[in-house]
Amino acid sequence: MPDLSDAHWMRRALILAQQADQANEVPVGALIVKDNAVIAEGFNQPISSADPTAHAEIVTLRRAAQSLSNYRLPNTTLYVTVEPCAMCAGAIIHSRIQRVVYGTAEPKAGAVCSHLQLFDQPQVNHRVEWQGGVLADEAAAALQVFFARRRGEKRALRKAD
């Protein structure tokens, strides 16, 4: 089986982000690939699960660890539609993910390159390779549409009061 491209896997992550959006969660999707096969996938669920740690990356890391019966996930790639935050970047380092590929940058909370650079800190015990900007426009658009809709809903509620 030929290696599939980063864009191929990111398209799948964008479909997962749509599922989050349909559940009224911030549209972020993630999946983990090993040997050219998906071993786990997930999307943001902190609101519906009442769990502040239920970011797409954490949900997916947990599922992958269960799938492999190992908390370490070497030789895997995590695809996520938005640059990981500090919590997720820390979990990625601890899980020994080999590579992270993300869609759009997160200038307020991104911990890969936008706000913090956790993967590049010399004191961390595992080096994570990373690539940003894969299908960035599509990932950013999903967030923009979601938050514009949310703002519109809030305005409508204020007018109704």
Q: Which residues does the annotation mark as catalytic?
A: 57
- The arrangement of strands across the sheet holding 29-34 comes to 37-43, 29-34, 77-82, 99-104, 129-131
Strand partners, 104: 82
Q: How far is Cα 72 from Cα 93, in angstroms, rounded to an integer? A: 10
Is there a contact between 120 and 102 (Cβ–Cβ < 8 Å)? Answer: no
Q: What are phi and psi of 15, to 5 degrees?
A: -65, -40
Which sign does the torsion angle of CA 60, 46, 133, 17 carry? Answer: positive
Assign 158 to helix, strand or coil: helix
Quick one: DSSP state of residue 118?
G
